Structure 1
Amino acid sequence: MAEYDMQELTLPNEDGKRILYPRMQLYGQKDLEYIADKVSYATSFTRGDIKGLVQAITEEIAHSMSEGYSVKIEGLGVFTPSLGLRKDKERESGEEGAPRRNAASICLRDINFRVDKELLYETAGHCTLQRAQYKKCRRSSQMFAPEERLERAKEFMKKNTFMSVAEYCRLTGLLKTTAANELKAWAAQPDSGINYRGRGTHKLYVLRPANA
């Protein structure tokens, strides 16, 4: 289940009132290794097959755009190259006699992506939202000392049996990498009261038995 919080717009509306809009909280990023592992588990393809195919598709998309084409991948979206001027180069004014920009002054600035509606609908169909109990900070939160974060984690596991890294992020405001490293450190200390089960992306944290 995904979580959201309400973000305030930088500028107020015409009446000077605050305007809030919903923003999904993101607690990390899943990479190709994770996606390949999940797809491999559900199909007959190996992780190597999937990663190799994605790499080949990526290279072909890049090659096609470099030749002046946009690329549409059904169910994913449309990739379109976008040009810009190199650093310190002025724009053409279009006026008669004014300097003109040649190819050496122009570079690929970005690649624009327009999502396919099928992907949007597929994502929306799986998305169940709830309002976040804790507002996520952009940087690792300093609102709790390490000992306080440890106690919050242990209280959570008393009620819920186990805890994921994402749940620890929500409890403490830490970013994913910082949270994962801290939990790993806690689990390595027998007197912390925390242990873990599983490994990799399937690792979950549990309370260490009192006599362990």
Structure 2
Amino acid sequence: MARYKLVRNPNLGEEGKEMPYHARYVAYGTVGLDEMIEKMSDRTSFSSADIKGMAQLFQDMIVEELRFGNNVEIDGIGIFTASLQCPPVMNKKEIRAESISFRTVKFRPSIKLCKRLKSLPLYKAPEEKEKQSFTREERRLRVLDYLTQKERITGSEYMRLNHCSRACASRDLIDFREEGLVKRQGRGPTLYYVKMQ
């Protein structure tokens, strides 16, 4: 069964006015392709390798058709469409072809898919305990203690350790680096921090 929780959107209008609750889907996690392939293999006579090969070919065909300028419709699933971006201008003559580029792929679910999910069984997810918040000094001490034991920490690990947002974690780690407490290593998805000796 799927889960939901009741949440309020932040009030961006009249100050002090409470916003109504609405239901939000609460996922258990994300199921990857490999896990789905194993489940499909258990239900058919095809091997996992066969299904994986077909899945890769299927992905390649979607990309190919989008590159050729077509939308891709998968019956019972939906339609994939490429979207574009360009600099905002008031006169269309100012737009040059070189300034137009791919932006993202949009997905529109089919009516058939929506109908199949119409009777989705739901139950209310357990209320999350309010996370403890820490002061900046407490966060500093916690990360230094963590680095003494673990040697390195990523931005995501800092967020979990101190129950803070990504912006807060990034700001703290930049400050600690400038203060000479930590040193940055790696780049991009492999970026992490170590304690200065």
Q: Which TM class, normalised by the smaller chain length?
A: 0.5 to 0.7
Shift of 1:117: 1.8
Shift of 1:124: 3.4
Structure-2 residue corresponding to 1:3: 3
Shift of 1:92: 2.5
Unpaired runs of 5+ in structure 1?
A: 144-173, 175-212
- Cα 1:112–1:18 change in 2 (3 A) is same
> What TM-score results when the alignment is normalised by the length of structure 1?
0.56
2:134 is equivalent to residue 135 of structure 1: no
Unpaired runs of 5+ in structure 2?
A: 134-159, 161-197
- Cα deviation, 1:154-207, whole Å, max 9, x if unaligned, reads xxxxxxxxxxxxxxxxxxxx9xxxxxxxxxxxxxxxxxxxxxxxxxxxxxxxxx
Q: Which amino acid aligns with 2:2?
A: A
Paired residues for 1:15-54 under 5 Å: 16-54=17-55
In 2, Cα distance between the equivalents of 1:132 and 1:35?
24
Contact persistence 2:11–2:18 (CA under 8 A):
no
Query: Cα RMSD (Å) of the superposition?
Result: 2.6
Contact persistence 1:3–1:131 (CA under 8 A):
yes
Structure-2 residue corresponding to 1:58: 59
Q: What secondary structure does 1:130 align onto?
A: strand
Paired residues for 1:1-212 under 5 Å: 1-11=1-11, 16-85=17-86, 90-94=87-91, 100-125=94-119, 127-135=120-128
Q: Which runs of 4+ in 1 moved over 4 A?
A: 12-15
Shift of 1:67: 1.4
Contact persistence 1:25–1:136 (CA under 8 A):
no
In 1, Cα distance between the equivalents of 2:108 and 2:127?
32
> What TM-score results when the alignment is normalised by the length of structure 2?
0.60
Q: What secondary structure does 1:124 align onto?
A: coil
Q: What secondary structure does 2:81 align onto?
A: strand
Q: What secondary structure does 1:114 align onto?
A: strand
Contact persistence 2:7–2:22 (CA under 8 A):
yes
Q: Which amino acid aligns with 2:106?
A: N
Shift of 1:18: 2.3
User: Percent identity of the aligned residues?
Assistant: 29
Q: How many residues align?
A: 133
Q: Which amino acid aligns with 1:103?
A: A
- Cα 1:81–1:43 change in 2 (3 A) is same
Contact persistence 2:2–2:121 (CA under 8 A):
yes
Q: Which amino acid aligns with 1:52?
A: G
Q: Which amino acid aligns with 1:129?
A: L
